[in-house]
Amino acid sequence: PAHALYGTADIKPIESNIAAKFWASATASSGSSTAPSAIDGNPATSWYAEGAGRQWLTVDLGGGYDNLRKVKVLFAERGVTHRYRVEVSADGRRWTQIADRTAARGAVHLFTRPGTRFVRLTVLGASGQARIGVSELQVFNYLRPDLTLGADLSWVDDRQDQEHWVHPLAANKGAGPHLLDVAKDRGMEYARLRIFNEPRSESTGEPTPIPRQGPERSLQSARWIKDRKMGLGIDFHYADSWADPSKQPKPRAWAGLEFEDLTKAVYGYTRDYLRQLIRQGTRPDKVAVGNEIINGFLYGSEAALIGTTDPPYFVNQAEIYQAKPGGGLLWRYWQSSDPVEQRLYHEAWDRFTTLAAAGIKAVRDTSPQSKVEIHVIVGTDRLAKTMEFWHQFLTRVKAKGQNPDVLAISYYPEWHGTPEALDRNLHTMAKAYPGYEIDIAETAYPASGGNGSPMPNSPFPRTIQGQADAIQRVFQAANDVVGNQGAGVLVWEPAGFQPMFRAVPGLPNTWEPHASINVFNASRAKHVLEDTVYLSARTGEVPALPATVRALTTATNTTAAIPVRWQAFPAGATGEVVVVGTTALGRVTAVIDVN
């Protein structure tokens, strides 16, 4: 059934046709207005050259890409032989040729050229003075090796007594018994830990009996992560309980501090905890100063104007938590024409960025090798707010002598929009701020529930396959950011929230991963195939299908011919005939025009 927690997932390496993205554009030598028809993803529409002789079509991908591997050319006219050349360039001035050949309907060309932004197809001629037209010029991107794929695994501090195995019911159980053993084996390269100052109950504000995700327990979690040679991220919530867009409480120990002392506390706490991590040999690779801080953090007296109602202890004990100013933002006064409201808006920004700059400085002073991340959200249809955040934040912290390395967002479709909205949000951020890495610091998708129906704003069903497809789509979005700015994706608590694990029936306290977790290993292409062959034949004859196709090995950037076994050509077939072939690396297709 669609809602079951059991099942397989068919996971193929990710490939993206960047030429079809909304930020790509096409121009033609003749200036033809139909040039965009060659990259619109619709083979039924075409660019036609205006005039005879040599003609070219150039695609601008909007920014450089390091892992483009395949160009696919599909000409508009059947039964015509074309002579053409394909070239690539990083700057539109210096070109490298990747193909020079004669072909019928089209061809696939494999190449490796880091930094490619422009692809140019020059048609030198066509048989019989045929009209030159191109239905599709596709340029395929694959996951970069340096795109970090991992997870927030903070709850690992309370899972050390549970057993996790890749195949718990098999004679060879695979990696385990620790959760992190399975996570690494399944392709997670990096783990993030959230840090609560003094863990407290969300409802009462009293210290929790077990200080989960507190500083001391997280030191042990960091050791487990580094022992497995995984990357380590530290996510300072600067709170005693959850901090997110709807709540950013001060920690109890800082609640009564004057603002200057609060600033010193942020610096000192960040510095001291990083020192503890470094002393035990677990220097973090990345440090987030705050968590989802689109509305600021460390709320104080300004909370009355924000109108916050969560967490309960923050509201019920206002005389403690809201006695002094903090770092909450007053978005209600954004774009106000009232001078007093404008003053309050900018004063709040100044307090917030003073606190954030203190946190950034503490990282720079203590662990300059660690990257600094600022993590926010883009609410559904709220991109303008997030871009105002980045403008105000980066302008102000740089004026205070600080600057982050990574701009990060969370992405959950039910709160943050469709996958296409995610593409737009990432692209807008990258083009506005090309000097920064872009991360998706949190994402997740359920494998069950809702009778299998998709989550709001998502096309993917709540099944094992749907979970894999949804997470893979986020990997793709990050990888496709122009200029290779997309740096990584973290799945949020995959062992506990919208989980990628399940309890094993009949085995107490034992867990195994869903098949969907293979997205971490299977999403990267080890080989790229010449997956489509175009031929032409006369009616009544059997076309000569090639005995081999080309395959590119991504680890070595080398190509080689591999044998292909074709299905039988259907006798008497006419028109466009498709024949499927198999190779050791996957399926290929022959498209044959029979005239």
**CA quadruple 509, 153, 485, 24: dihedral sign:** positive
Q: Are residues 331 and 411 in the same domain?
A: yes
Q: Which residue, 493, 522, 551, sits at the end of a domain? A: 522
Q: Are 392 and 346 in contact (CB under 8 A)?
A: no
Q: What is the pLDDT of residue 2?
A: 35
The per-residue pLDDT of the chain, averaged, comes to 95
Q: Is residue 300 part of a domain?
A: yes
Q: What is the pLDDT of residue 30?
A: 76
Q: Are residues 136 and 167 in the same domain?
A: no
Condensed to tens digits (0 to 9), the pLDDT of residues 537-592 reads 888 888 899 999 999 999 999 999 999 999 999 988 888 899 999 999 999 999 99
What's the rounded mean pLDDT across residues 295-317? 96
Q: Is residue 3 part of a domain?
A: no
Assigned token pair, 138? 């596709």
Q: Is residue 407 part of a domain?
A: yes
Percent residues over pLDDT 70 in the chain:
98
Condensed to tens digits (0 to 9), the pLDDT of residues 505-521 reads 999 999 999 999 999 99
Provide the pLDDT confidence category of residue 131 given band limits of 50, 70 and 90: confident
Q: What is the pLDDT of residue 52?
A: 66
Provide the pLDDT confidence category of residue 6 given band limits of 50, 70 and 90: low
Q: Is residue 4 part of a domain?
A: no
Distance CA 588, CA 530 (A): 7
Condensed to tens digits (0 to 9), the pLDDT of residues 411-470 reads 999 999 999 999 999 999 999 999 999 999 999 999 999 999 999 999 999 999 999 999
CA angle 295, 297, 301 (to 5 degrees): 95
Q: Are residues 127 and 179 in the same domain?
A: no
Distance CA 502, CA 159 (A): 14
Q: What is the pLDDT of residue 3?
A: 38
Q: Are residues 499 and 407 in the same domain?
A: yes
CATH of the domain at 565: 2.60.120.260
Distance of CA 138 to the CA centre of its chain: 22
Q: What is the pLDDT of residue 542?
A: 86
Q: Is residue 438 part of a domain?
A: yes
Q: Are 432 and 395 in contact (CB under 8 A)?
A: no
CA angle 109, 130, 542 (to 5 degrees): 60
Provide the pLDDT confidence category of residue 159 given band limits of 50, 70 and 90: confident
**For residues 69, 71, 523 and 443, what is the CA-based torsion angle, rounded to 10 degrees?**
110
From residue 178, alpha-carbon distances to 508, 510, 522 in Å are: 15, 10, 22
Condensed to tens digits (0 to 9), the pLDDT of residues 56-88 reads 999 999 999 999 999 999 999 888 889 999 999
Q: Are 116 and 61 in contact (CB under 8 A)?
A: yes
Q: Are residues 73 and 170 in the same domain?
A: no
Q: Is residue 121 part of a domain?
A: yes
Q: Which residue, 475, 493, 522, sits at the end of a domain? A: 522
β partners of residue 73: 107, 137
Q: Are residues 127 and 152 in the same domain?
A: no
Q: Are residues 444 and 512 in the same domain?
A: yes
User: For residue 204, how many C-alpha atoms fall within 13 Å in the half-sphere facing its CB?
Assistant: 5
Q: Are 113 and 89 in contact (CB under 8 A)?
A: no
Q: What is the pLDDT of residue 360?
A: 99
Q: Which residue, 484, 507, 522, sits at the end of a domain? A: 522
Q: Are residues 571 and 484 in the same domain?
A: no
Q: Which residue has the tokens 């903090």?
A: 326
Q: What is the pLDDT of residue 447?
A: 96
Model confidence pTM above 0.85:
yes
Distance CA 583, CA 49 (A): 37
Provide the pLDDT confidence category of residue 1 given band limits of 50, 70 and 90: very low
What's the rounded mean pLDDT across residues 88-94? 97
Domain containing 477: what range? 148-522
Condensed to tens digits (0 to 9), the pLDDT of residues 23-35 reads 999 999 877 789 9
Q: What is the pLDDT of residue 49?
A: 87
Domains contained in the chain, number: 2
Q: What is the pLDDT of residue 33?
A: 84
> Beta strand 510-513 with 163-164: parallel, antiparallel or unpaired?
parallel
Q: Identify the CA nearest to 24 among candidates 109, 147, 119.
A: 119
Q: Are residues 36 and 169 in the same domain?
A: no
Encoded amino acid at 100, one letter: D
HEC assignment per residue over 157-208: HHCCCCEECCCCCCCCCCCCCCHHHHHHHCCCCEEEEEECCCCECCCCCCEC
Q: Is residue 10 part of a domain?
A: no
Look at residue 178 and tell me whether its pLDDT is greater than 80: yes
Q: Is residue 516 part of a domain?
A: yes
Condensed to tens digits (0 to 9), the pLDDT of residues 320-369 reads 999 999 999 999 999 999 999 999 999 999 999 999 999 999 999 999 99
Coil vs helix vs strand at 156: helix
Q: What is the pLDDT of residue 50?
A: 81
CA angle 556, 557, 561 (to 5 degrees): 100
Q: Are residues 322 and 385 in the same domain?
A: yes
Q: What is the pLDDT of residue 245?
A: 97
Element (H, E) at 487: strand 486-492
Q: Are residues 492 and 419 in the same domain?
A: yes
Q: What is the pLDDT of residue 341?
A: 98
Encoded amino acid at 416, one letter: H
Condensed to tens digits (0 to 9), the pLDDT of residues 258-275 reads 999 999 999 999 999 999
CATH of the domain at 249: 3.20.20.80
Q: What is the pLDDT of residue 512?
A: 95
Q: Are residues 75 and 199 in the same domain?
A: no
Look at residue 4 and tell me whether its pLDDT is greater than 50: no
